[in-house]
Amino acid sequence: MRSNFDAQLKELNLDMLKMAGEVENIINMSMRAFLKGEHDVARETIEYDYQINEIERQIERRCLKLLLQQQPVATDLRRISSALKMITDMERIGDQAADIAQLSLRFENGMVPQKLNHIVSMASETSKMVTDAINAYVSSDTSLAEKVITDDDRVDELFNEVKDDLIEFIRNNIEVGEQAIDLLMVAKYFERIGDHAVNIAEWVVFSITGVHKNSKIM
């Protein structure tokens, strides 16, 4: 009865999965650029961010067209409005990955200290959080979305561990203070990426339950 509308909602889901995939890629690319000091990859990452911005525009257009043409209510309204909010956070994650890549251009290969396990873990944790949040959206899985929200505690813990690592690093290598500050910024970007993933997950919960951060907003 509403095959056209349903088809467009499916397309929206596919777009969201595509954007999540691109966001996952850019996080991994920024990590590679940073860890291995590969400047080509860093520049590629910065370019890739424009691609993510373009997908955001496409999804925005699709959502606005759906709002205009279908005047959605109930679940449809919640899904479309959530998508509009979620893509803003995904786009910001792209920006932060590009910022990490930008910082990594200041590092030469081998300049980055080996003991960076915690930053590596932050990258993989946050990347997984984004993927899980979008999977929760597509499959309307509240418990998966809630898991993403609690997973952020681990990212915050990792950030604190990175800080401890860096304090020790500076203590032993007083001449590399500037580099340590850059590393701290990289960790901070990952910590922010975790926060954005939480925002995404909170909108997923809203799209399913109508409740956003424990309050009814409609």
Partner 1 sequence: MAVKFSVSNLDLYYGDFQALKNINIRMNENEVTAFIGPSGCGKSTLLKSLNRMNDLVEGCKITGTVLLDNVDIYKNMEITELRKNVGMVFQKPNPFPMSIYDNIAYGPRTHGIKRKSQLDEIVETSLKQASIWEEVKDRLKKSALGLSGGQQQRLCIARALAVKPEVILMDEPTSALDPISTMKIEELCFDLKKEYTIIIVTHNMQQATRISDKTAFFLHGEIVEFGETGQIFAMPKDKRTEDYITGRFG
Write the interaction track for partner 1 spanning residues 159-198; mark x where CB under 8 A is met and - where it is not.
----------------------------------------
Positions 78 through 117 that interact with partner 1 (CB under 8 A): 78
Binding-site member from 85, 95, 105, 210 for partner 1 (CB under 8 A):
210
- Closest distance to partner 1 from the beta carbon of 106 (Å): 48
Residue 125 and residue 122: Cα distance in Å, rounded? 5
Under rule CB under 8 A, which residues in 63-82 are in contact with partner 1? 71-78
| Least distance to partner 1, CB of residue 64, Å | 17
Is residue 77 classed exposed, middle or buried when 0-12, 13-18 and 19+ CB atoms within 10 A define those classes?
middle
Q: 117 vs 209, which CB is nearer to partner 1?
A: 209
Cβ contacts of 34 within 8 Å, gap of 6 or more: 42, 100, 101, 103, 104, 107, 112, 119, 186
Helices (H), the chain: 3-36, 39-70, 74-104, 117-138, 142-172, 177-209
Contacts to partner 1 from residues 44-63, by CB under 8 A: none
Between 5 and 113, CB nearer to partner 1: 5
Q: Between residue 3 and residue 22, which ones bind partner 1 under the rule CB under 8 A?
A: 5
Round the CA-based radius of gyration of the chain to a whole number and report it: 19
Q: How far is the CB of 87 from partner 1 (least distance, A)?
A: 21
What DSSP letter does each residue of 20-40 carry, written as one string? HHHHHHHHHHHHHHHHH--HH
Which positions touch partner 1 (CB under 8 A)?
1-2, 5, 71-78, 209-210, 216, 218
